[in-house]
């Protein structure tokens, strides 16, 4: 592990992931962390993971961005004390909050119903193994990060803002100064490459997940960076709906024959 990105969500985590990949790092973002390292995150949350466990689980990874590595950065840094820690921040707290708000609005716009009971029922009926597993994963780590459940609507501004301040202040206070870099992705390649000790690449600095485009890509199964999570969950839903349709046809046929 060479780089731990401790920035909370909506501070340019997808942009950081792409920038580090361009620089040649093997980067695991949220979906890679779910598919490949899920067990170690649960062990860390249960306080049963040793430094050796963490080192073994992440032996082939150069950098982590987004959940849950960003909120478990301290345990990661204890296991990898030579790793550099990058705390991504926004220009202002208001800018960060508006980005979170937009993310929730985009997510809500993809939901057909506004009743949580109906949503829970439909989720139970049509969701497959991968989608259910990721939902459980998110229900643990999103509240741990943002201080609020991932729910319908938009979480209270005061809660989100408080968590943003608390997280940033804690990282700045606890991380050794020689390992820490507080960074705004708007500053581009120069400061980042200087901190990492690498050459500036001959390519424009990336800009990912602008206006929550990543959410739409995952939902449509077109994201190049979700380990095919979107495609898999769409296929799972189609299969479950097909089975439900078949059962309905069989039930109707049986009723027709009986009556």
pLDDT digits 0-9 by tens, 198-213? 999 999 999 876 666 8
What structural domains and CATH numbers belong to the chain? Answer: 3-258 (3.40.50.300)
Q: Quick one: pLDDT at residue 54?
A: 97
CA 193/CA 178 separation, integer angstroms = 16
Write down the pTM of the prediction. 0.88
Q: Quick one: pLDDT at residue 210?
A: 66
State the pLDDT confidence band at 165, using cuts at 50, 70 and 90.
Answer: very high
State the pLDDT confidence band at 150, using cuts at 50, 70 and 90.
Answer: low
Instruction: Tell me the two tokens of residue 239.
Output: 């299969």
CA 213/CA 87 separation, integer angstroms = 23
3-state secondary structure of 92: coil
Write out pLDDT tens, residues 72-118: 999 999 999 999 999 999 999 999 999 999 888 887 777 766 666 66
Q: Quick one: pLDDT at residue 108?
A: 75
Dihedral sign, Cα of residue 129, residue 106, residue 227, residue 21: negative
Report the 10 Å Cβ neighbour count for 60: 9
CA 190/CA 206 separation, integer angstroms = 13
Burial 173-208 (b: 16+ CB within 10 A, else e): eebeeeebbbbebeeebeebeeebeeeeeeeebbeb
Which residues are CB-neighbours of 85 under 8 A, at least 6 positions away?
3, 4, 5, 6, 73, 77, 171, 175, 179, 180, 181
Bridge partners, 5 (sequence order): 86
Bridge partners, 28 (sequence order): 64
């Amino acid at each position: 592990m060479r780089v731990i990105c401790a920035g909370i969500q909506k501070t340019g985590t997808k942009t950081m992931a792409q920038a580090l990949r361009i620089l040649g790092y093997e980067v695991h973002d949220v979906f890679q962390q779910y598919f490949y390292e899920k067990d170690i995150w649960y062990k860390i949350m249960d306080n049963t993971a040793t430094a050796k466990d963490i080192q073994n689980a992440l032996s082939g990874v150069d950098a982590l961005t987004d959940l849950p590595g960003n909120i478990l950065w301290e345990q990661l840094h204890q296991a990898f004390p030579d790793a550099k820690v990058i705390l991504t921040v926004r220009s202002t707290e208001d800018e960060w909050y508006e980005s979170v708000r937009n993310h929730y609005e985009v997510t809500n716009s993809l939901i057909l119903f506004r009743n949580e009971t109906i949503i829970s029922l439909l989720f139970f009926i049509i969701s497959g193994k991968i989608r259910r597993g990721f939902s459980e994963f998110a229900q643990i780590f999103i509240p741990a990060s943002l201080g609020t459940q991932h729910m319908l609507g938009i979480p209270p501004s005061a809660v989100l803002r408080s968590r943003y301040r608390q997280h940033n202040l804690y990282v700045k206070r606890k991380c050794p100064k020689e390992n820490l870099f507080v960074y705004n992705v708007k500053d581009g390649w120069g400061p980042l490459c200087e901190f990492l000790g690498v050459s500036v690449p001959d390519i424009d600095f990336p800009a990912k997940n602008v206006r929550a485009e990543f959410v739409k890509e995952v939902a449509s199964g077109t994201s190049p960076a979700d380990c095919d999570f979107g495609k898999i969950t769409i296929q799972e839903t189609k299969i479950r709906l097909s089975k439900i349709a078949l059962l309905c046809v069989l039930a109707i046929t049986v009723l027709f024959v009986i009556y």
